[in-house]
Amino acid sequence: MNLIIDVGNTRVKVAVFEEDTIVDFVVFDKIKIVSEIKKIIKKYNITAAIASSVALLSAKKIEKLQSFVEIMFVSSNLEIPFKNLYATPTTLGVDRIALVFGAFIKYPKKNVLIIDAGTCITFDFLTKNGEYLGGAISPGVEMRYKSLHKFTSKLPLLPINKPENFVGNSTKESINSGVVNGVIQEIEGVINQYEKKYLDLTVVLTGGDTNFLSKQLKSSIFANQNFLLEGLNEILIFNKSK
Protein backbone atom coordinates (compact mmCIF):
# COMPACT_ATOMS: atom_id res chain seq x y z
CA MET A 1 0.00 0.00 0.00
CA ASN A 2 1.07 3.58 -0.68
CA LEU A 3 1.19 6.27 2.00
CA ILE A 4 0.45 9.76 0.67
CA ILE A 5 1.24 12.79 2.85
CA ASP A 6 0.19 16.36 2.04
CA VAL A 7 1.69 18.82 4.53
CA GLY A 8 -0.05 22.19 4.56
CA ASN A 9 0.69 25.32 6.58
CA THR A 10 -1.31 24.15 9.61
CA ARG A 11 -2.84 20.77 8.77
CA VAL A 12 -1.69 17.48 7.28
CA LYS A 13 -3.79 15.31 4.98
CA VAL A 14 -2.84 11.65 4.74
CA ALA A 15 -4.27 8.98 2.49
CA VAL A 16 -3.54 5.28 2.17
CA PHE A 17 -3.90 3.98 -1.38
CA GLU A 18 -4.25 0.42 -2.59
CA GLU A 19 -3.19 0.90 -6.21
CA ASP A 20 -5.38 3.87 -7.27
CA THR A 21 -8.08 3.55 -4.61
CA ILE A 22 -8.13 5.43 -1.29
CA VAL A 23 -8.71 2.99 1.58
CA ASP A 24 -8.17 5.47 4.42
CA PHE A 25 -7.99 9.23 4.82
CA VAL A 26 -7.18 11.36 7.88
CA VAL A 27 -6.56 15.04 8.61
CA PHE A 28 -4.70 16.35 11.66
CA ASP A 29 -2.69 19.34 12.93
CA LYS A 30 0.88 19.53 11.66
CA ILE A 31 2.26 19.35 15.19
CA LYS A 32 0.98 15.74 15.44
CA ILE A 33 2.59 14.52 12.22
CA VAL A 34 5.08 12.08 13.78
CA SER A 35 2.62 10.35 16.13
CA GLU A 36 -0.18 10.17 13.55
CA ILE A 37 2.02 8.80 10.76
CA LYS A 38 3.36 6.18 13.19
CA LYS A 39 -0.22 5.03 13.92
CA ILE A 40 -1.06 4.70 10.23
CA ILE A 41 2.10 2.75 9.44
CA LYS A 42 1.31 0.32 12.27
CA LYS A 43 -2.20 -0.17 10.91
CA TYR A 44 -1.34 -0.82 7.24
CA ASN A 45 1.27 -2.69 5.27
CA ILE A 46 2.91 0.39 3.73
CA THR A 47 5.36 -0.44 0.95
CA ALA A 48 6.07 3.09 -0.34
CA ALA A 49 5.48 6.67 0.78
CA ILE A 50 5.55 10.15 -0.70
CA ALA A 51 5.18 13.61 0.82
CA SER A 52 4.39 17.04 -0.53
CA SER A 53 5.13 19.88 1.87
CA VAL A 54 4.32 23.56 1.31
CA ALA A 55 5.42 24.24 4.90
CA LEU A 56 8.82 23.56 6.39
CA LEU A 57 9.30 20.43 8.47
CA SER A 58 12.19 20.32 10.89
CA ALA A 59 15.12 18.04 10.09
CA LYS A 60 14.37 16.18 13.32
CA LYS A 61 10.80 15.40 12.28
CA ILE A 62 11.86 14.34 8.79
CA GLU A 63 14.49 12.02 10.27
CA LYS A 64 11.90 10.50 12.60
CA LEU A 65 9.40 9.96 9.76
CA GLN A 66 12.10 8.37 7.61
CA SER A 67 12.84 5.94 10.43
CA PHE A 68 9.28 4.59 10.07
CA VAL A 69 9.31 4.25 6.27
CA GLU A 70 11.37 5.61 3.39
CA ILE A 71 9.56 8.72 2.17
CA MET A 72 10.01 10.36 -1.20
CA PHE A 73 9.73 14.15 -0.88
CA VAL A 74 8.46 15.99 -3.95
CA SER A 75 10.76 18.76 -5.19
CA SER A 76 11.43 20.82 -8.30
CA ASN A 77 14.06 18.21 -9.26
CA LEU A 78 11.40 15.53 -9.66
CA GLU A 79 11.51 13.58 -12.91
CA ILE A 80 8.26 14.27 -14.74
CA PRO A 81 6.65 12.84 -17.92
CA PHE A 82 5.37 16.23 -19.13
CA LYS A 83 7.29 19.26 -20.41
CA ASN A 84 7.63 22.02 -17.82
CA LEU A 85 7.69 25.42 -19.56
CA TYR A 86 7.42 27.43 -16.35
CA ALA A 87 9.99 30.25 -16.56
CA THR A 88 11.11 29.69 -12.94
CA PRO A 89 10.73 25.91 -12.43
CA THR A 90 12.61 25.88 -9.11
CA THR A 91 9.97 28.19 -7.61
CA LEU A 92 7.02 26.08 -8.73
CA GLY A 93 5.16 24.77 -5.67
CA VAL A 94 5.35 21.05 -5.05
CA ASP A 95 1.57 20.94 -4.69
CA ARG A 96 1.17 22.42 -8.18
CA ILE A 97 3.63 19.86 -9.59
CA ALA A 98 1.53 17.05 -8.11
CA LEU A 99 -1.70 18.51 -9.50
CA VAL A 100 -0.30 18.77 -13.03
CA PHE A 101 1.20 15.28 -12.76
CA GLY A 102 -2.24 13.93 -11.86
CA ALA A 103 -3.84 15.77 -14.77
CA PHE A 104 -1.26 14.36 -17.20
CA ILE A 105 -1.99 10.79 -16.12
CA LYS A 106 -5.77 11.03 -15.71
CA TYR A 107 -6.57 13.20 -18.75
CA PRO A 108 -4.07 12.20 -21.46
CA LYS A 109 -3.90 14.33 -24.60
CA LYS A 110 -6.37 16.88 -23.25
CA ASN A 111 -6.16 20.58 -22.43
CA VAL A 112 -6.60 20.63 -18.65
CA LEU A 113 -7.10 23.56 -16.28
CA ILE A 114 -6.66 22.57 -12.64
CA ILE A 115 -8.12 24.96 -10.06
CA ASP A 116 -7.02 24.36 -6.48
CA ALA A 117 -9.24 26.33 -4.09
CA GLY A 118 -7.47 26.27 -0.76
CA THR A 119 -5.52 28.86 1.24
CA CYS A 120 -4.71 30.33 -2.15
CA ILE A 121 -6.56 29.69 -5.39
CA THR A 122 -4.13 28.37 -7.97
CA PHE A 123 -4.78 27.88 -11.66
CA ASP A 124 -2.51 25.46 -13.56
CA PHE A 125 -2.74 24.69 -17.26
CA LEU A 126 -1.51 21.61 -19.11
CA THR A 127 -1.90 21.44 -22.90
CA LYS A 128 -3.03 18.38 -24.84
CA ASN A 129 0.59 18.12 -26.05
CA GLY A 130 1.79 17.53 -22.49
CA GLU A 131 3.21 21.02 -21.98
CA TYR A 132 2.78 22.77 -18.64
CA LEU A 133 2.51 26.51 -19.33
CA GLY A 134 1.87 27.87 -15.83
CA GLY A 135 -1.24 29.61 -14.55
CA ALA A 136 -2.11 32.03 -11.76
CA ILE A 137 -2.15 32.45 -7.98
CA SER A 138 -4.91 34.33 -6.20
CA PRO A 139 -6.02 34.79 -2.55
CA GLY A 140 -8.32 32.04 -1.30
CA VAL A 141 -11.82 32.55 0.08
CA GLU A 142 -10.87 32.53 3.78
CA MET A 143 -7.88 34.77 3.12
CA ARG A 144 -10.16 37.36 1.53
CA TYR A 145 -12.47 37.41 4.53
CA LYS A 146 -9.49 37.78 6.88
CA SER A 147 -7.86 40.54 4.83
CA LEU A 148 -11.02 42.68 4.90
CA HIS A 149 -11.05 42.44 8.69
CA LYS A 150 -7.30 42.87 9.20
CA PHE A 151 -6.73 45.82 6.88
CA THR A 152 -9.78 47.85 7.90
CA SER A 153 -10.80 49.30 11.27
CA LYS A 154 -14.50 48.39 11.32
CA LEU A 155 -15.25 45.45 9.04
CA PRO A 156 -15.98 42.25 11.04
CA LEU A 157 -14.37 38.87 10.52
CA LEU A 158 -17.09 36.64 9.11
CA PRO A 159 -17.28 32.90 8.48
CA ILE A 160 -17.48 31.73 4.87
CA ASN A 161 -21.09 31.94 3.78
CA LYS A 162 -22.95 31.94 0.48
CA PRO A 163 -24.50 35.39 -0.16
CA GLU A 164 -28.28 35.58 -0.28
CA ASN A 165 -28.09 38.01 -3.20
CA PHE A 166 -25.29 39.52 -5.25
CA VAL A 167 -26.60 42.92 -4.11
CA GLY A 168 -25.66 43.01 -0.43
CA ASN A 169 -28.20 44.95 1.68
CA SER A 170 -26.11 44.95 4.86
CA THR A 171 -22.42 45.05 5.74
CA LYS A 172 -22.47 41.30 6.40
CA GLU A 173 -24.16 40.50 3.10
CA SER A 174 -21.98 43.01 1.23
CA ILE A 175 -18.87 41.20 2.49
CA ASN A 176 -20.31 37.79 1.59
CA SER A 177 -21.21 39.03 -1.87
CA GLY A 178 -17.87 40.76 -2.38
CA VAL A 179 -15.84 37.74 -1.35
CA VAL A 180 -17.84 34.73 -2.50
CA ASN A 181 -19.47 36.24 -5.58
CA GLY A 182 -16.10 37.79 -6.43
CA VAL A 183 -14.38 34.39 -6.26
CA ILE A 184 -17.10 32.73 -8.35
CA GLN A 185 -16.91 35.45 -11.02
CA GLU A 186 -13.11 35.23 -11.01
CA ILE A 187 -13.12 31.47 -11.51
CA GLU A 188 -15.82 31.64 -14.21
CA GLY A 189 -13.91 34.43 -15.92
CA VAL A 190 -10.61 32.53 -15.92
CA ILE A 191 -12.31 29.40 -17.28
CA ASN A 192 -13.89 31.53 -20.02
CA GLN A 193 -10.48 32.97 -20.95
CA TYR A 194 -9.02 29.49 -21.39
CA GLU A 195 -12.06 28.16 -23.25
CA LYS A 196 -11.76 30.94 -25.84
CA LYS A 197 -8.16 30.01 -26.61
CA TYR A 198 -8.10 26.25 -26.02
CA LEU A 199 -10.79 23.97 -27.41
CA ASP A 200 -12.17 20.95 -25.54
CA LEU A 201 -10.99 22.26 -22.19
CA THR A 202 -11.24 19.92 -19.19
CA VAL A 203 -11.58 21.77 -15.87
CA VAL A 204 -10.80 20.14 -12.53
CA LEU A 205 -11.71 21.86 -9.26
CA THR A 206 -10.00 20.66 -6.11
CA GLY A 207 -8.91 21.90 -2.69
CA GLY A 208 -10.61 22.54 0.64
CA ASP A 209 -13.32 24.83 -0.76
CA THR A 210 -14.29 22.45 -3.59
CA ASN A 211 -17.72 21.45 -2.27
CA PHE A 212 -18.64 25.03 -1.32
CA LEU A 213 -17.66 26.52 -4.69
CA SER A 214 -18.66 23.72 -7.07
CA LYS A 215 -22.35 24.12 -6.17
CA GLN A 216 -22.23 27.76 -7.30
CA LEU A 217 -20.22 27.45 -10.52
CA LYS A 218 -22.08 27.35 -13.82
CA SER A 219 -19.13 26.06 -15.88
CA SER A 220 -18.80 22.35 -16.54
CA ILE A 221 -16.16 21.03 -14.16
CA PHE A 222 -14.91 17.85 -12.52
CA ALA A 223 -15.00 18.42 -8.75
CA ASN A 224 -12.47 16.22 -6.95
CA GLN A 225 -11.37 17.25 -3.47
CA ASN A 226 -8.67 14.53 -3.42
CA PHE A 227 -7.03 15.36 -6.74
CA LEU A 228 -3.75 16.45 -5.12
CA LEU A 229 -3.51 13.20 -3.14
CA GLU A 230 -4.26 11.23 -6.31
CA GLY A 231 -1.56 13.17 -8.15
CA LEU A 232 0.98 12.35 -5.46
CA ASN A 233 0.00 8.70 -5.67
CA GLU A 234 0.56 8.79 -9.45
CA ILE A 235 4.03 10.25 -8.88
CA LEU A 236 4.84 7.40 -6.51
CA ILE A 237 3.53 4.76 -8.93
CA PHE A 238 5.52 6.36 -11.78
CA ASN A 239 8.76 6.28 -9.78
CA LYS A 240 8.20 2.73 -8.48
CA SER A 241 7.84 1.44 -12.04
CA LYS A 242 11.20 2.86 -13.15
Residue 242 has what pLDDT? 65
**Structural domain contains residue 78:** no
Domain assignment of residue 24, given as a range: 2-73
| Residues 6+ positions from 139 with CB-CB distance below 8 Å | 120, 121, 147
- The answer to the question of whether 6 is labelled as a binding residue is yes
Beta carbons of 96 and 122 less than 8 angstroms apart: yes
Q: Is 205 helix (H, G, I), strand (E, B) or coil?
A: strand
Task: Mark whether 18 and 100 lie in a shared domain.
Answer: no
**Structural domain contains residue 21:** yes
Neighbour-count burial for 131-142, b at 16+ CB within 10 Å, e otherwise:
ebebbeebbbbe
Binned average pLDDT, 10 residues per bin, the chain of 242 residues: 89 92 93 93 93 83 91 89 94 93 96 95 97 97 97 96 92 96 97 95 95 92 94 92 68
The residue among 73, 106, 134 that closes a domain is: 73
Task: Mark whether 115 and 192 lie in a shared domain.
Answer: yes
Task: Mark whether 139 and 190 lie in a shared domain.
Answer: yes
- The count of structural domains within the chain is 2
Beta carbons of 98 and 231 less than 8 angstroms apart: yes
- The answer to the question of whether 8 is labelled as a binding residue is yes
> Which residues does residue 84 pair with via DSSP β-bridges, in sequence order?
132
Environment class of 90 (CB within 10 Å of its CB; exposed 0-12, middle 13-18, buried 19+):
exposed
Task: Mark whether 137 and 192 lie in a shared domain.
Answer: yes
Task: Mark whether 91 and 145 lie in a shared domain.
Answer: yes
Task: Mark whether 207 and 160 lie in a shared domain.
Answer: yes
Residue tagged active-site, from 95, 124, 200, 209: 95
* Strand locations in the chain (E): 2-7, 11-18, 21-29, 48-53, 71-73, 83-84, 111-117, 120-126, 131-139, 201-206, 222-223
Beta carbons of 30 and 140 less than 8 angstroms apart: no
Task: Mark whether 201 and 97 lie in a shared domain.
Answer: yes
Task: Mark whether 117 and 220 lie in a shared domain.
Answer: yes
Q: Is 24 a catalytic residue?
A: no
Could you tell me the pTM of the whole model? 0.92
Task: Mark whether 64 and 88 lie in a shared domain.
Answer: no
